[in-house]
Amino acid sequence: MAVRQVLRMGHPTLLKVAQPVTEFNTAALDRLIEDMFDTMAEQEGVGLAAPQIDESLRIVIFGFELSERYPDAEPIPTTVLINPVIEFIDAEQQAGWEGCLSVPGLRGVVPRYTHIRYCGVDQAGNAIDRMAKDFHARVVQHEVDHLDGILYPQKIEDMNQFGFLEELELRNKLD
């Protein structure tokens, strides 16, 4: 069990395309995923990608019952998703506020597909194949972007809708 340091935007690992996981059911993989959950819990995040703790592997975790960061969000099942693939069900997109543990203190409006299907495996190699919509779909797209070296500020279309959470809250700009 260990809380790891979360890399911040500007660190080169966050810009890399992460490598697929090829070995499952290993102690090293289990330990890494445990560290990811410990780190996500400590930071009160709703998702975390392995590159954020300087492990350039295609692993994301996400899920929560109730999030302090996103109090209005519907619960998402706690998930370990390895080597993920996302399919967009239709062309519909929605703009919504996002934050990232690698971009602390900031929020920005990012368009994301509303309906997706995501596939992958868990740490034991069991298949995962799910449909998701809205915030669940947003979280998965955000986390999987990390595996391709993409951070959400790169996807903001209107830079007027990007700022420090404290300032935005003060002005009630958040939806």
Q: What angle do CA 22, 23, 29 make, to 5 degrees?
A: 115
Residues 4-43 vs Ni ion: string with x where CB under 5 A? Answer: ----------------------------------------
| Contact between 6 and 39 (Cβ < 8 Å) | yes
Length of the chain: 175
Per-residue HEC secondary structure of 146-157 comes to HHCCCCHHHHCC
CB of 80 to Ni ion, least distance (A): 16
Pairing of strands 162-164, 106-113: antiparallel
| DSSP state at residue 13 | G
CB of 29 to Ni ion, least distance (A): 21
CB of 14 to Ni ion, least distance (A): 9
Of the candidates 53, 81, 100, 106, which one interacts with Ni ion according to CB under 5 A?
Answer: 100
| Contact between 104 and 160 (Cβ < 8 Å) | no
- Tell me, yes or no, if 157 is annotated catalytic: no
Tokens of 29: 């993989």
Q: Closest residue to Ni ion, Cβ-based?
A: 100
Q: Which stretch binds Ni ion (CB under 5 A): 16-24, 99-107, 125-133, 157-165?
A: 99-107
- For Ni ion (CB under 5 A), the number of binding residues is 1
| Contact between 29 and 163 (Cβ < 8 Å) | no
**Which CB sits closer to Ni ion, 21 or 110?**
110
Given the residues 143, 157, 166, 167, the one annotated as active site: 143
Q: Which stretch binds Ni ion (CB under 5 A): 53-61, 65-73, 100-108, 156-164?
A: 100-108
Q: Which residues bind Ni ion (CB under 5 A)?
A: 100
Residues known to be catalytic: 143
